[in-house]
Amino acid sequence: MSESNIAISVVIPFLNEEESIPELLTWIERVMDENKFTYEILLIDDGSNDHSWKIVEQNRQRNSRIKAIKFRRNYGKSAALNVGFHAVLGDVVITMDADMQDSPDEIPALYRMIVEEGYDIVSGWKKKRFDPITKTIPTKFFNAVTRSISGIPLHDFNCGLKAYRQEVVKSIEVYNEMHRYIPVIAKWAGFKKIAEKEVQHRARKYGSTKFGGISRFINGFLDLLTIFFVSKFGKRPMHFFGVWGTLMFIFGFMGALYIGLEKIYLIYNGDTVPRNITDQPLFFLCLVALIVGSQLFLAGFIGEMISRNATERNVYGITKRLGVDE
């Protein structure tokens, strides 16, 4: 156990979930008490404009283990999780959505897999889902692509119900829409003991989903490419841009040298007057390669300077805190 003596931190990002929050908190508290866990519940209000925050304040008055952070505006789920990860104190961190589609009854089993079986991350797998086919088919596609690229054998990378060792969440940064790929980020940060547990997926009880639309799948694919590139070359961009820039420059230079030497050879041997160098398509191809190669090399050089002087990426406008230290 850590010095905080908190076994489990439950991180719950939410947006306009005034109907589900009281029931969800009661359910979590019952599970924790039945299993005699020491715990904290950290709610991240991602810019709600209903009565969600007032309900959180009321619950905080009756249970000091309920803590909360409120954003000034909507920053997204990744930002909420990132702030929550920095604030948690528990040895094991459980994340779940606030819409009642994740069951708190899964918490004890997830906790045991981290503590007793030694996993870094345990990701939920909602094998039987209550989502429309327009959501499940694209989700399966992206999960397959992510498995192929990352080498992590998970069926449901975007499941909100996950468990982590505290060291994992303190060592990674989640931004943009990259909450979908936290296992990938963690693996490339050195945490390779990743497991999966089949969990219950419950139909939404209140309201409607706050996430949807074709843009989430387009953004998800672009974010996956970003994670792949940043994880490989984020700290050494010259290794990507420099290599390709150098290869293209060499190709352009050698091609231009060949054209020039060929013409000199033909003139020297008194052969028919060769055509102008600028009349040859290869000349323009070599010229483009020289220019693009130089630009790629400079991009890598500038990227190196930026990466060595980058400031913090995640800066949020937090207006209120309950039981969470600055």
Top-confidence residue, 304 or 249: 249
Cα 302 to Cα 237, 242, 269, 297, distances in angstroms: 9, 11, 47, 9
pLDDT of residue 176: 76
Burial pattern 169-199, b for ≥16 Cβ within 10 A else e, equals bebbebbebbbbbbbbbbbbeebeebbbbeb
Looking at the chain, the whole-number percentage of residues with pLDDT higher than 90 is 52
Top-confidence residue, 119 or 212: 119
148: CB partners within 8 A, 6+ apart: none
Flag whether pLDDT at 206 surpasses 80: no
Distance CA 153, CA 173 (A): 22
The pLDDT tens digits of the residues spanning 108-148 come to: 999 999 999 999 999 999 887 766 666 677 778 888 888 88
The pLDDT tens digits of the residues spanning 27-61 come to: 999 999 999 999 999 999 999 999 999 999 999 99
Q: How far is CA 162 from the centre of its chain?
A: 14
Q: Three-state SS for 235?
A: coil
Backbone angles phi, psi at 37, to 5 degrees: -85, 140
Distance CA 251, CA 158 (A): 43
Give the mean pLDDT of the chain.
85
pLDDT of residue 2: 44
Top-confidence residue, 219 or 51: 51
Looking at the chain, the whole-number percentage of residues with pLDDT higher than 70 is 84
Distance CA 4, CA 225 (A): 38
Stated pTM of the model: 0.74
